[in-house]
Amino acid sequence: MSTFPNSPRLLKGGIVLIDPDTSSIVRIITLQYNPDTLTRTLQVQAVTSEGDRSDPLRLKAPPIETFKLEAEIDATDQLEFPDQNPNAVQVGIQPQLAALETIIYPTSDQLLSSNNLARAGTLEIAPMEAPLSLFIWSSNRVVPVRITDFSITEEAFDPSLNPIRAKVSLGLRVLSVYDLGFDNKGGSLYMAYQQQKERLAAMNKGGGLSGLGLRGIA
């Protein structure tokens, strides 16, 4: 896809997977096209002790924040230059889809290991741990998340029935320090994310009471 030579460099959103123990990067997934919209929902975590009038202003945790977005993946441009994009010719966009899908799969090695432990009579098998997912949407939003919703609509196929165009809908839940802990790498990234919000809030000049039609708060 051609661009104007003097156009500004467009940053891409994406997901970075990091090892929960070493914090090393496992995989970087860049969205081919930035979604047109990003829906954020914040569910307030307030103290709701029924009948206790001392708690209406108390917060017990950061809000539960969720993101919803729809990403487009299209191999049309790559298929115009088959010599430069053999994977697109051979399997379409399946590598891009698989990179996203396998975020929510245990690895085959983990499955085999769990099965071997069960066959050996292990009484308690720990749940399989996945890499920590970071949703990246500019340098101001580097957020630890868990994928909660995932759907794919494949819209076009090549003669071998490989998908060549699709839309991927993602639902992401932000993981806070209450989920990860303060000593966890994801917890420290969450704290940086919240502190950035506080700095941005401080930049807002607000307004005066006169603009609300008031002279004071009686």
Helix (H, G, I), strand (E, B) or coil at 172: strand
Give the contacts of 183 (CB within 8 A, at least 6 positions apart).
none
**pLDDT value for 20:** 86
pLDDT tens, position by position, 166-215: 999 999 999 999 999 999 999 999 999 999 999 999 998 888 888 888 88
DSSP summary character for residue 9 = P
Q: Is 123 exposed, middle or buried (0-12, 13-18, 19+ CB in 10 A)?
A: exposed
So what's the pLDDT on residue 49?
63
- The whole-angstrom separation of Cα 185 and Cα 19 is 10
Per-residue pLDDT of the chain (218 residues; tens, 9 = 90+): 445 555 566 789 999 999 988 989 999 999 999 999 999 999 998 887 665 566 778 888 899 999 999 999 999 888 888 888 899 999 999 999 999 999 999 999 989 999 998 888 887 777 878 999 999 999 889 999 999 999 999 999 999 999 999 999 999 999 999 999 999 999 999 999 999 999 999 998 888 888 888 888 87
pLDDT at 1: 45
The per-residue pLDDT for range 108-121, each reduced to its tens digit, is 998 999 999 888 88
pLDDT at 19: 93
Are 71 and 31 contacting, i.e. CB atoms less than 8 angstroms apart? Answer: yes
CA distances from 79 to 74, 100, 158 (A): 10, 21, 10
> What is the per-residue pLDDT for 126?
79
Residue 186: name the closest of 157, 140, 143, 151 by CA: 143
Domain residue extents for the chain? 14-200
Position 50, amino acid: E
Q: How far apart are CA 189 and CA 171, in angstroms?
A: 20
Q: Tell me which amino acid residue 195 is.
A: Q
Q: From CA 20, how far away is CA 146, in angstroms rounded?
A: 13
